[in-house]
Amino acid sequence: MDFDVDESVTALRAQVRAFLAQELTPELDEEVYRSGVSHDATFVRRLAERGWVGPGWERPDGGSPLGPYEVHALVDELTKAEAPTYAITTTQMVANVIRAVGSAALRAEILPRFLRGEVTIALGMTEPEVGSDVAGVRTRARPEGDHWIVDGQKMFTTNGHITDYIFLLTRTRPDGPKHAGLTLFLVRLDQPGIEVQAVHTLSGERTNIVYLSDVVVEDRWRIGDVDGGWRALMIALQDEHSAPFSPHLARLLEAVEQWARESGRIEQPEVSERLARWATALEVARLLELRTTWLAANGRVPVAEGPMSKLFGTESLVRAAEDLTELVGPDALRGRLDPSAPVGGRIEHALRFSLGTTIYAGTSEIQRNIIAQQGLGLPRG
In CATH, what number does 121-233 get? Answer: 2.40.110.10
Q: What is the pLDDT of residue 135?
A: 81
Domains of the chain: which residue ranges?
7-84, 121-233, 242-375
pLDDT digits (tens, 9 = 90+) for 275-320: 999 999 999 999 999 999 999 899 898 889 999 999 999 999 999 9
The model's pTM is: 0.93
**Alpha carbon distances (Å) from 74 to 14, 244, 333, 374:** 10, 12, 31, 29
Distance CA 4, CA 74 (A): 16
R_g of the chain, CA atoms, integer Å: 21
Kindly give the residue spans of alpha helices, DSSP state H, lying in 38-103.
41-49, 68-80, 86-101
Kindly give the residue spans of alpha helices, DSSP state H, lying in 222-304.
229-241, 246-262, 269-297
Burial class (CB in 10 A: 0-12, 13-18, 19+), 208: buried
pLDDT digits (tens, 9 = 90+) for 87-101: 999 999 999 999 999
pLDDT at 175 over 90: no
pLDDT digits (tens, 9 = 90+) for 19-48: 999 999 999 999 999 999 999 999 999 999
Domain 242-375: which CATH class?
Answer: mainly alpha
Contact 237, 182 (CB under 8 A): no
pLDDT at 131 over 80: no
Q: Is 62 left (phi over 0), alpha (psi -120 to 50) or beta?
A: left
**Alpha carbon distances (Å) from 151 to 59, 138, 358:** 38, 9, 30
User: Of residues 154 and 362, which shows the higher confidence score?
Assistant: 154
Contact residues for 249 (Cβ-Cβ < 8 A; gap 6+): 278, 281, 282, 285, 313, 316, 317, 320
Contact 97, 232 (CB under 8 A): yes
Distance CA 86, CA 371 (A): 26
Mean pLDDT of the chain: 94
CB atoms within 10 A of CB 48: 18
Q: How confident is the model at residue 136 (pLDDT cuts 50, 70, 90)?
A: confident
Burial class (CB in 10 A: 0-12, 13-18, 19+), 339: exposed
Q: Tell me the average pLDDT across 61-85.
A: 94
Contact 232, 184 (CB under 8 A): yes
pLDDT digits (tens, 9 = 90+) for 137-146: 999 999 999 9
Give which of 59, 32, 61 is closest to 44, Cα–Cα: 32
pLDDT at 381 over 70: no
Strand, coil or helix: what is 64? coil
